[in-house]
Structure 1
């Protein structure tokens, strides 16, 4: 899901190596006229990389992580992250899968610049799509993924099995929980205290936490509980994803446009929008005209030009937290996008899981 723009906490020596990137085939007549391209890379021992694409409903994001494994008995240290995104998301190219794959190809160029060429063949690249593609018809979603897979296979990076896939909502919640608790140091601390996470994406929302009592687990539906091993510890989490309850999907539902066939440019009105507002919005490859008709949001006119959905979004978030999840007015929630300058999305958790499955980290 998804990353989602909203994540809430409840959540040695250097040696120069010359690498040949490409060279002419021996049977080509111009052999020797053009020298092979070489790249100068600094290879460091115990350093490895991971490339994770987050194909969300509103955009496609690339996370390029650098890790250092100093102690095999300890989790690897995250040295840094390079992050970039493009809009719109892959779902906007539902009828143009080749163009969707081109957006991924553009981001992949950043990875070639960020990862030393000496590490390309051992650096895995993976794309996981969230609710934006889960909402598409299966054949159209698979057509998009197939084009992306072809881009990956032409790249110099390690392409694992199932490198391009649609992630289920529960995995999205669990992986975001891993990210947040790793970045805050809770995942491998001695006190066993962790934080719960809420993730509000464009098309879905997730809630994930580590129950404190066996009674909670006993009263929880079996498909809301998941167990996994990470960094030599086993965790049993409560996690659930609510498809259709993301912020952008909630806008469509409020406008009455979620379950109907929409004609491009069709007008929708809601009392959760300022009365004098009339504007255009693009989502999922569809163009919506929208406007307001009660006066409850009119006192937010000064914010309308920059954030026309502000009144609607705040109303929905308040209802979701209080009526949906049952948080009280005095519940302390922490809103954050980054921890130690690292994005708090599920992508880091997914990269840890990937590296662990490939035997590249402990």
Structure 2
């Protein structure tokens, strides 16, 4: 009886061991060899990093997206934005220091993204007007130092991760950002989209989807681009004005001082007995009040009316009948003058810029802490009214963010970056 029980117990233990081993093999096989597959109804998160090397500063944007199954349009969940000043172009004589300024931003981006996502996150830097206006050799030296820096970080790099962006691309990317955030990209031919005017430090872009066939017939071929956005094919009008961003327009309106020189310029845009030294990239200017001319707003605006006509800002009559978003320095100055809310943004008219310029360009209203405010407001009013031909009662919208997300061209550029590296 004892032997029978012992034998029976041994058989039970042996069978149990066999079952345990088989179960462990099955578990290990399925765990180590089967891919992690997403169910059709689930989503996954991914990231993208875009650095905007602008004329006045460098900014890093880290975007967190969610890709829903069955949808070609990613959902933007969150974004991180940090910046450093001065801009990369200011390091033309010291490229290594320029790269070091970008490294600070990359460290911030790296700390924001989970480590297990580093190797699948694309990274790119696109420089704008500041580097476009540098001599080719100086610009390339800066870009090469940043390329070396990028290779030390664990992110995915596209074919050309560090580059000077074409002004037209900057306009298209900004237009995509605005309309993505407005959720207006779904219409055929861009018929429900809104136009965008982006005024940076060194250049300005206007972008919109033409609604009338006559526009395409009149426009220059180089200004019409075929783009595909999340499966929707559209024809876009885009023009970039290099050299008439806010900062460069200050120089251009004062007869365009040559780089590397300290020059004195007299202007009707400053009050009596005021002198101010100002530097924009390699150019340094000493502004003085023009004692022979003082007409306040009228005299100052005349300078920018002339500039607007020389630069041929008149594009197409159709823009006067389309809704437009204006951003970057348009937003900054409008918020500063309390034309719109500094946090929420809002709607404004061209006349509101004209009125703000008239109010500010008076000796008794002059603020020495904001010496260029009169000049800038005259510039904005002239570009909109005299350049683009908007009526004074035209309503424009300007917002720093839409749905809590920043209206920067970097988001539109990141969509292309993700597509290129996926």
Q: TM-score, normalization: structure 1?
A: 0.83
* 1:122–1:316 Cα change, 3 Å: same
> Which of the pair is proportionally richer in helix?
2
Aligned equivalents of 2:409 and 2:77: distance in 1? Answer: 18
The residue that corresponds to 1:333 in the other structure is 396
Aligned equivalents of 1:194 and 1:281: distance in 2? Answer: 39
- CA deviation after TM superposition for structure 1 residue 291, in Å: 2.5
SS of structure 1 residue aligned to 2:362: helix
Aligned equivalents of 1:238 and 1:268: distance in 2? Answer: 37
Asked if the contact 2:257/2:283 (under 8 Å) is kept, the reply is no
Asked if the contact 2:244/2:252 (under 8 Å) is kept, the reply is no
Pick from 146, 151, 164 the counterpart of residue 166 of structure 1: 164
- CA deviation after TM superposition for structure 1 residue 268, in Å: 2.1
The residue that corresponds to 1:64 in the other structure is 62
* 1:280–1:113 Cα change, 3 Å: same
CA-based RMSD: 1.8
Q: Does 1:313 align with 2:371?
A: no
Asked if the contact 1:274/1:296 (under 8 Å) is kept, the reply is no
How many residues of Structure 1 are paired with residues of Structure 2 in the alignment?
Answer: 314
The residue that corresponds to 1:215 in the other structure is 214
- CA deviation after TM superposition for structure 1 residue 337, in Å: 1.8
The residue that corresponds to 2:284 in the other structure is 287
Q: Does 1:87 align with 2:85?
A: yes
The residue that corresponds to 1:254 in the other structure is 253
Aligned equivalents of 1:275 and 1:255: distance in 2? Answer: 18
Q: Does 1:100 align with 2:98?
A: yes
* 1:300–1:332 Cα change, 3 Å: farther
* 1:113–1:337 Cα change, 3 Å: same
The residue that corresponds to 1:41 in the other structure is none
Moved more, 229-238 or 68-77: 68-77
* 1:314–1:353 Cα change, 3 Å: same
Q: Does 1:136 align with 2:134?
A: yes
The residue that corresponds to 2:242 in the other structure is 243
Aligned equivalents of 1:357 and 1:72: distance in 2? Answer: 20
Aligned equivalents of 2:100 and 2:268: distance in 1? Answer: 39
Aligned equivalents of 1:235 and 1:277: distance in 2? Answer: 51
The residue that corresponds to 1:29 in the other structure is none
- CA deviation after TM superposition for structure 1 residue 305, in Å: 2.7
Q: Which has the larger radius of gyration?
A: 2
* 1:357–1:292 Cα change, 3 Å: same
* 1:45–1:259 Cα change, 3 Å: same
The residue that corresponds to 1:3 in the other structure is none
SS of structure 2 residue aligned to 1:165: strand
Asked if the contact 2:60/2:82 (under 8 Å) is kept, the reply is yes
* 1:56–1:123 Cα change, 3 Å: same
> Which of the pair is proportionally richer in strand?
1
Superposition pairs of residues 266-277 of structure 1, within 5 angstroms:
266-277=263-274
Deviations 1:132-191 (A, max 9, x none): 111111111011000111111101111221000011111111110000000011113589
Asked if the contact 2:52/2:59 (under 8 Å) is kept, the reply is yes
Moved more, 208-217 or 65-74: 65-74
Superposition pairs of residues 91-240 of structure 1, within 5 angstroms:
91-188=89-186, 192-240=191-239
Deviations 1:182-215 (A, max 9, x none): 0011113589401000011111111100000112
- CA deviation after TM superposition for structure 1 residue 52, in Å: 0.2
* 1:261–1:161 Cα change, 3 Å: closer
Asked if the contact 2:158/2:417 (under 8 Å) is kept, the reply is no
The residue that corresponds to 1:30 in the other structure is none
Asked if the contact 2:191/2:211 (under 8 Å) is kept, the reply is no
- CA deviation after TM superposition for structure 1 residue 74, in Å: 3.8
Aligned equivalents of 1:163 and 1:303: distance in 2? Answer: 45
- CA deviation after TM superposition for structure 1 residue 259, in Å: 4.5
Asked if the contact 1:52/1:125 (under 8 Å) is kept, the reply is yes
SS of structure 2 residue aligned to 1:207: strand
SS of structure 1 residue aligned to 2:68: coil
Aligned equivalents of 1:202 and 1:268: distance in 2? Answer: 20
* 1:329–1:124 Cα change, 3 Å: same
